[in-house]
């Protein structure tokens, strides 16, 4: 099989490429990325000599280049990770989110129809459901929870999901959608909470916790997310949505304390800063459908996964130094300077 992985140089995309090459050694992987600030070709260094792997630098909004690629390669499966993915950036500058996350998806779906792709998989997010109250631990997102996005990022992802479903109904696009909770693990860019807090703690920089740190996220190791996508795109039912999550809810402050403890740093580094606008309170996934239909269950417990992740960042200081130099410093100053 020939598989196109878009957004392959980002956090989840790169983990997914490694997993595909390892678990399906007879498949061919074409890794595509436009290499925005979040895309890093070094993330894929470990597979550059694999004969079943090839990288192409293309923007998913570039219809002409995408069509040319699809014409040349005849993909069996397209799995789309490419996106602007950071909520805080979407609050500062929504436009690029609409362009990549909606119009880019439109280009990929048109190409999939035109060139006979057998399965288009859209990597979506639990954020399309909005949030849940903190005091109703009995409530979870299911696949039938109405879409109710809060940020420009989640609205753009929800729009893409609606478009994928419309292409399925109207044009018979063979497709699946996965909606996963928060991922953590290697290669995550330190604008997201976990790698940002690890980086700051290591450098004795204050850890900026939004609001009171009581917002809850449902954490899943990136490896488990990749395995879920692998199952869905190969075996999931045409036109279906699958929620992915591991019942692992944690308040942000709890995660931050875990990181400080693991690094032997003092809690006085915690600084409560102005809350995120429209900050979603709680995410919690009901993964019953993917378990029942595809037998998926998470394999990594947070307690071990977070220690392994912290160790990865400790062992990859060169990677961290590179991605936190230059533009990152400007971003950090703009985002946190007067917060």
Tell me which DSSP letter residue 285 carries.
B
> Is residue 249 involved in binding ligand NAD (CB under 6 A)?
no
Q: Which of 20, 28, 90, 100 binds ligand NAD (CB under 6 A)?
A: 100
Determine the 3-state secondary structure of 54 from DSSP.
strand
> Least distance to ligand DAU from the beta carbon of 73, Å?
28
CA distance 44 to 15: 9
Phi, psi of 40 (to 5 degrees): -140, 115
Contact region with ligand NAD (CB under 6 A), list: 48-56, 65-73, 178-186, 197-205: 178-186
Residue 210 contact, options ligand NAD, ligand DAU, none, Cβ 5-8 Å cut-off depending on partner type: ligand DAU
CA distance 263 to 73: 46
Question: Which residues ranging from 57 to 96 are in contact with ligand DAU (CB under 6 A)?
Answer: 85-87
Nearer to ligand NAD, 91 or 269 (CB): 91
Query: What is the pattern of x (binds ligand NAD, CB under 6 A) and - over residues 138-157?
Result: -------------------x
User: For ligand NAD, which residue has the nearest CB?
Assistant: 10
Alpha helices in the chain (DSSP H): 11-23, 63-73, 87-92, 95-98, 105-114, 152-171, 193-202, 222-235, 252-262, 288-294, 302-315, 317-323, 327-336
From ligand NAD, ligand DAU, none, interface partner of 161 (C-beta below 5 to 8 A by class): none
Sole residue written with tokens 């190409």: 111
Q: Which one of ligand NAD, ligand DAU, none is in contact with 11 (Cβ closer than 5 to 8 A by kind)? A: ligand NAD
Does the annotation count 135 as an active-site position? no
Helix, strand and coil percent figures for the chain, each rounded to 5: 45, 20, 35
Per-residue binding letters, 273-312, with ligand DAU (x by CB under 6 A) = ---x------x-----------------------------
Q: How far apart are CA 218 and CA 228, in angstroms?
A: 16
- CA-to-CA distance for 248 and 286, rounded, in angstroms? 11
Q: Which residue in 100, 182, 248, 258 binds ligand DAU (CB under 6 A)?
A: 182
Using the rule CB under 6 A, which residue among 4, 29, 33, 283 binds ligand NAD?
Answer: 33
Active site residue 172: no
184's tokens = 């953590």
Query: Considering only residues 3, 4, 5, 12, which one is a binding residue for ligand NAD as defined by CB under 6 A?
Result: 12
Stretch of 17-25, 134-142, 202-210, 308-316 contacting ligand DAU, by CB under 6 A: 202-210
Cα(11)–Cα(125) distance, integer angstroms: 14
Task: Name the residue whose CB lies closest to ligand DAU.
Answer: 125
Does the annotation mark 126 as catalytic? Answer: yes
Pick out residues in 97-156 that bind ligand DAU (CB under 6 A). 125-127
Residue 275 Cα to chain centre, angstroms: 22
On whether the CB atoms of residues 125 and 82 are closer than 8 A, the answer is no
Closest separation in Å from C-beta 217 to ligand DAU: 5
DSSP structure class, residue 282: B
Closest contact distance (angstroms) between CB of 123 and ligand NAD is: 4
Q: How many CB atoms sit inside 10 A of residue 233's CB?
A: 22
Q: Which of 33, 59, 84, 126 is catalytic?
A: 126
Min CB(192)–ligand DAU separation in Å: 4
Within 8 A by CB and 6+ apart from 166, the residues are: none
CA-to-CA separations, 7 to 4, 30, 95, 107, 319, in angstroms, rounded: 10, 11, 19, 14, 19
Q: Annotated catalytic sites, by residue? A: 126-127, 153
> Which residues of the shown chain bind ligand NAD in the complex (CB under 6 A)?
6-7, 9-13, 33-36, 38-39, 59-61, 81-85, 100, 104, 123, 125, 157, 180, 182-183, 189
């Amino acid at each position: 099989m020939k598989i196109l992985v878009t957004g392959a140089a980002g956090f989840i995309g790169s983990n997914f490429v490694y997993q595909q090459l390892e678990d399906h050694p007879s498949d061919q992987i074409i890794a595509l990325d436009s290499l925005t600030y979040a895309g890093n070709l070094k993330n894929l260094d470990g597979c550059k000599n694999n004969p079943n792997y090839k990288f192409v630098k293309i923007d998913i909004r570039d219809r002409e280049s995408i069509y040319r690629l699809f014409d040349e390669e005849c993909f069996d499966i397209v799995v789309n990770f490419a996106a602007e993915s950071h909520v805080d950036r979407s609050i500062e500058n929504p436009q690029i989110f609409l362009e990549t996350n909606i119009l880019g998806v439109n280009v990929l779906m048109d190409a999939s129809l035109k060139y006979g792709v057998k399965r288009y998989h859209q990597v979506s997010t639990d954020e399309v459901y909005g949030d849940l109250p903190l005091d109703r631990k009995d409530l979870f997102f299911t696949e039938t929870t109405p879409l109710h996005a809060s940020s420009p990022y989640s609205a753009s992802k929800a729009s893409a999901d609606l478009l994928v479903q419309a292409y399925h109904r109207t044009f018979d696009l063979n497709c699946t959608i996965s909606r996963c909770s928060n991922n953590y693990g290697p290669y995550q860019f330190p604008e997201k909470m976990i790698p940002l807090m690890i980086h700051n703690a290591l450098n004795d920089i204050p850890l900026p916790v939004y609001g009171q740190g009581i917002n809850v996220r449902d954490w899943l190791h990136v490896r488990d997310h990749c395995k879920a996508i692998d199952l869905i795109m190969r075996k999931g039912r045409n036109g279906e949505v699958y929620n992915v999550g591991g019942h692992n809810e944690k308040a942000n402050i709890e995660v931050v304390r875990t990181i400080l403890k693991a690094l032997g740093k003092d809690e006085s580094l915690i600084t409560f800063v102005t809350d995120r606008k429209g900050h979603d309170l709680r995410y919690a996934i009901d993964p019953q459908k993917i378990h029942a239909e595809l037998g998926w269950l998470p394999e990594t417990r947070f307690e071990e996964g977070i220690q392994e992740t912290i160790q990865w960042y400790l062992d990859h200081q060169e990677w961290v130094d590179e991605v936190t130099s230059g533009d990152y410093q400007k971003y950090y100053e703009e985002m946190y300077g007067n917060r």
